[in-house]
Amino acid sequence: MKKDAKIYIAGHRGMVGSAIHRRLNAQGFSNLLLRTSGELDLRNQQDVAEFFAAEKPEYVFLAAAKVGGILANNTFRADFLYENLAIQNNVIHQAYLHGVKKLLFLGSSCIYPKLAPQPIKESSLLTGLLEPTNEPYAIAKIAGIKLCEAYRAQYGCNFISVMPTNLYGYNDNYHPEHSHVMPALIRRFHEAKALGQPEVVVWGTGTPRREFLFADDLADACTYLMDHYTSPDLINVGTGEDISIRELANLIRSVVGYDGELIFDRSMPDGTPRKLMDVSKLHEMGWRHKTSLEAGVKMAYEDFIGRIARQ
C-alpha cells in the first residue's frame, strides 16, 4: 500500500479497528477513511452502497463486527448471526462493485470445530461441530470467509481472510456480563480490590486453555498481511502459546494486586476445552508477536484504569 492510498477501516473505534488505525498512523499512512456507526450503519445496504460510491476506497480492513463474550453470544444468538452477516455482506459486496484493490476480512478462532485437533490448523475449518454457545457468531464468520473465497473465485477479487485468536488490549469491552474473559476478569479483580471483597468468582472450572494476543500485535500482523499475503486460503494469527483460565486469573490477580480468594462457578459454561492456533504458516512468512502476556495484561489494566478515570 502506498502511503497516500485511500484506506477504509471498518470498525475503527473498536478494539481491533482502533489498533489498526494506530498502526497505520504510525506507519505514515495519511489518507484513512473513518466512519463511526452513527455516521455509517454497516447493516444498512443502501448506506454502505452510497459510502463506497462516494469515497471509493482502495483498501479495506473489515474489522467491524458485533462481538461479545460467552454469555452475550449465547443470549443474543439472532443478533450475532444477523448483524454480522449484514455487515459482511454489505462491505464485501460493495468492495467488489467498486473495485477495491484488496480487502482484509477479520474472522475469529471460534470458526473451528469445538474438538478440533490442537493446535488448530487452517485446514480444520468445517471438519466438525462448532461450540454451541457461540455457533451463530462462528457461522457468520465462516460465511464471511466463504464470501471472500467466492468473490475471488468468480470475479478475481483480492480478498483475504485472517483468523485471530482470543484478543485483548486497548479499547476493550469491560461490560460485567457481556465481555470476553480477559476484560471481565480485569474488571472483576479491580472492583473486588477497590471494595475489599474477600473473593472473586470466575466462571466455569478454570481448566479450559486459551491463547491470547494483544490487539496491537494483531494490527501489526494485519498490515503485514495486507502487504505480503495474497493466498485464497485463510491464515491464523496468534502467539502459538496457551494458558489455562485458572492461570490467567492468577496472572490478572497479580497484576491488579488483589490478594483475595478465587472461587470457580462450575454452573457457568466452560466453552471449548482448548483453543490453540497453529500459527506455523504466519511464522514461516517471518511474522511473530512482540507483546508478552504479562506485559499485555499490564497495559490492558492501565487502559482500564484510565477509562475509569475519564468516566
Flag whether 203 is marked binding. yes
**Cα 17 from chain centre:** 9
Flag whether 210 is marked binding. yes
Flag whether 15 is marked binding. yes
Flag whether 292 is marked binding. no
Q: Are 296 and 169 in contact (CB under 8 A)?
A: yes
Sign of the Cα pseudo-torsion (153, 155, 156, 161, in order):
negative
Flag whether 188 is marked binding. yes
Flag whether 16 is marked binding. yes
For the chain, strand residue ranges (E) read 7-10, 32-33, 59-62, 102-106, 159-164, 166-168, 199-203, 209-210, 212-214, 235-237, 243-244, 261-265, 274-275
Closest CA to 249 of 175, 171, 192: 192
Phi, psi for residue 59 in degrees, rounded to 5:
-130, 145
Flag whether 109 is marked binding. yes
Flag whether 108 is marked binding. yes
Element (H, E) at 256: helix 245-256
Rounded distance between C-alpha atoms, residue 27 and residue 207, angstroms? 40
Flag whether 270 is marked binding. yes
Q: Which of 8, 59, 137, 151 is catalytic?
A: 137
Flag whether 166 is marked binding. yes
Flag whether 68 is marked binding. no
The DSSP call for residue 120 is B
Flag whether 165 is marked binding. yes
Rounded distance between C-alpha atoms, residue 164 and residue 211, angstroms? 10
Any residues with CB less than 8 A from the CB of 270 and at least 6 apart, and which? 204, 205, 207, 208
Does the active-site annotation cover 137? Answer: yes
- Kindly report the number of other CB atoms within 10 A of residue 310's CB atom: 6
Flag whether 310 is marked binding. no
Any residues with CB less than 8 A from the CB of 284 and at least 6 apart, and which? none
Q: Are 168 and 141 in contact (CB under 8 A)?
A: no
Number of helices and strands (H, E) in the chain? 10, 13
Task: Kindly list the catalytic residues.
Answer: 137
Residue numbers belonging to the annotated binding site for substrate: 188, 203, 210, 270
Residue numbers belonging to the annotated binding site for NADP(+): 11-17, 106-109, 141, 164-167, 180
Residue numbers belonging to the annotated binding site: 11-17, 106-109, 141, 164-167, 180, 188, 203, 210, 270
